[in-house]
Amino acid sequence: MGRIITLTGPSQSGKSTAKDFFLKHSHKEGEEDGWYYPISIPKYNTRKPRKDDKPDEVISRKVLPKKCDLVYQQYDVRYGFSSKDLLKKLQEGFICLIVINDVRTISEVKRIFGKLCKSIYLHRQAISKADFIAEAKKRGNNDDKMIEKRIKKAEAIYRIYIENIDLFDNVLLNSSNEENLEAQIIKVIESLNIKNQHYFK
């Protein structure tokens, strides 16, 4: 049986970078004592595709598929995924990485999967409004109203994190030094060694 790792954080906190580091350290098939086989679990969403979308992160649809039983809304967009799909990947032995920016949904995933789920918060020092706008435009988002809404949502997520700190199993500090973030992620991976954890037997 595999594991679920949820990644949470405000816009531009480094969730995609963290996910890439988790994927980077995958064991090779057939590797002696190999057990860490991470995959990215995409979420369905109802917004228009963006140029920086990654197919292993988001799948755009006008309406969420009926199989999506874990659903939340953010920036007037609905996001959803299937607990049955997650369970299938867990049974195949994969470490499932999924970005979730909704504490209610994280709580539900943890309720369903229990100790199989590890929730991680990406903390990054708040960037200035000017930097936030510049980064958003770099990603192709030129809608000033949407950028302002995302800034407010980012601030709200910081508050939600503080109010729900007990929900997260780990906090990763994302500074400008990516090597430091990667070192933190390697420690998390080492703590997941499923061969040493009795509830996987």
Provide CB contacts within 8 A for 64, sequence distance 6+.
Answer: 44, 45, 46, 71, 78, 80
pLDDT of residue 65: 95
pTM of the model: 0.81
What is the tally of structural domains in the chain?
1
The residue among 66, 61, 117 whose CA lies nearest residue 89 is: 117
pLDDT digit string (tens) for 28-40? 876 777 789 999 9
Give the range of the structural domain holding residue 68, as residue numbers without chain letter: 3-125+167-194
pLDDT digit string (tens) for 105-156? 999 999 999 999 999 999 876 656 666 677 666 666 667 777 777 777 777 7
pLDDT digit string (tens) for 49-93? 877 777 778 899 999 999 999 999 987 889 999 999 999 999 999
Asked whether the beta carbons of 153 and 11 are under 8 A apart, the reply is yes
State the first-to-last Cα distance of the chain, in angstroms, to the nearest integer. Answer: 9
Residue 153 lies in a domain: no
CATH number at 39 reads: 3.40.50.300
Residue 65 lies in a domain: yes
